[in-house]
Structure 1
């Protein structure tokens, strides 16, 4: 498997705090069957995280440390861009990394203050030459209330990423429910760990892979955990099944009451 959303580099953002924790995260990932990780350090206008050449140097140093510790994982370069109106306007001038220098741009939003017309943001990012990968969409309040916002974003060309822990219900019933809705309606293209440490929010994918394989199919699991990730880091077009809009199922009583 390939994890394309992970905060594994030590001492960069709110991910691994030091080299020992980063190496332990890598060992956990290796035990899960993860072969490659795209480090997606936060790119946030209010925090001065390492970026550009400094971030590239950190990735190179960490890959050396992985080999020295006999950990068979390769870490690739990326950022997780925090959305603001200004960042989108200045996107082509900023010193960030796409996912392994591909056309795919990982972008996150405020859970409490997601843009009202999220599909318009997707359109704007596409105009600038990038394919937006919307990070952990199941966590955004507006999408919890209306999952079909994701459907509209897919129609505009977005790639949708959901966290493995959300699929397994580790962030509450609401987030689990919306994750299920998105999976049921082919509105998920990538599952990632969004790991931040070795004790909590760990780089684990296998249990979620097994869940998706059991509930849907092995082909679906392979696409969501491996094949689409491979295509992204190779800068190829990913496998996008036909999405369908979510229709809330109503009981007989509610249907009669509505009439």
Structure 2
């Protein structure tokens, strides 16, 4: 089991506040059957990249032994908040998921203008990195029209959704399941920040299996394994959404 989005590294962003809390999160991951977690601490455009990489390394060193003790692989990465000039950052590849050419990008929460798609395209074209678009079900733009993700799919981007969105009956849970069913979502992440609020990837897959079927879950898990192996991913052909009586189907 792979968790593609976590804030487990201590004292580096708004996630874990201490090594002890990170250990508690890792134990929860172990109990849930997670084998690999992507430590995707926030990276913002106003941060110095090299300073961030150094801080990330120091944070990892505080909990690496816990991962080894529990048999959990920790892959360093970052959740990179997209800006117009993200593609120009020297050393951007250092923020990709360790050992791969895949990079987790957080979109703006305001309405997406054309620059969003242009910036993502430039990252892919100029660096060779493959964007993973983080927790898409959380953005207003996606909730208003999920077809706004189509340009990312056309570029070959990977789409990530959060397990917390599948935790209970809600509009967001319905949207997340529809995204998976339509081939608009490919990998799961817990986006865990604190030990007291943890929703496992295993629990997310269990919900998805009930809602969209075992075959879709198997596809997602295979895509996840390919990403960690730094392989090119064959994505399912997406099925565009249709709006009927004010609802997306």
Question: Which structure's CA Rg is the greater one?
Answer: 1
Q: How large is the Cα RMSD of the aligned pairs?
A: 2.3
Distance 1:21 1:2 in 2: 20
1:149 Cα deviation from its structure 2 partner: 0.8
CA distance in structure 1 between the aligned counterparts of 2:97 and 2:113, rounded to whole angstroms: 23
Query: Structure 1 residues 57-66 or 234-243, which shifts more?
Result: 57-66
How many residues align? The count is 245
Deviation at 1:77, TM superposition (A): 0.9
Asked whether the 8 Å contact 1:28–1:203 carries over to 2, the reply is no
Query: In 2 relative to 1, CA 113–249 (structure 1 residues): closer, same or farther, beyond 3 Å?
Result: closer
CA distance in 2, matches of 1:81, 1:187: 21
Aligned residue number for residue 67 of structure 2: 66
**Per-residue CA shift, 1:200-233, capped at 9, x if unaligned?**
2x25122211111222232321332x32222112
**Who is 2:163 aligned against?**
164
Aligned to 2:86: 87
Gaps of 5+ in 2: none
Q: Over residues 111-144 of structure 1, what are the superposed CA-to-partner deviations in whole Å (9 max), with x where a residue is unaligned?
A: 1243445433332121121111000111111111
Gapped runs of 5+ residues in structure 1?
255-259
Deviation at 1:188, TM superposition (A): 0.7
> Does the aligned pair in 2 maintain the 1:164–1:208 contact within 8 Å?
yes
Superposed displacement of residue 74, structure 1: 1.5
Q: Work out whether residues 184 and 238 of structure 2, in 8 Å CA contact, stay in contact via their aligned partners in 1.
A: yes
Secondary structure at 1:75's aligned position in 2? strand
The correspondence for 1:237, drawn from 232, 235, 238, is 232
Identify the residue that residue 220 of structure 1 maps to in structure 2. 216
* Structure 1 residues 154 and 94: CA distance shift in structure 2, 3 A: closer
**Aligned CA distance change for structure 1 residues 121 and 214 (closer, same or farther; 3 Å):** same
Q: Structure 1 stretches (4+) deviating beyond 3 angstroms?
A: 46-50, 92-96, 113-119
Q: Measured at CA, do residues 28 and 115 of structure 1 come closer, stay the same or move farther in structure 2, by a change above 3 Å?
A: farther
Task: Find the residue that maps to 1:199 and give its secondary structure.
Answer: coil
Q: CA deviation at 1:102?
A: 1.2
CA distance in structure 1 between the partners assigned to 2:115 and 2:46 by the alignment: 24
Match of 1:179 in 2: 176
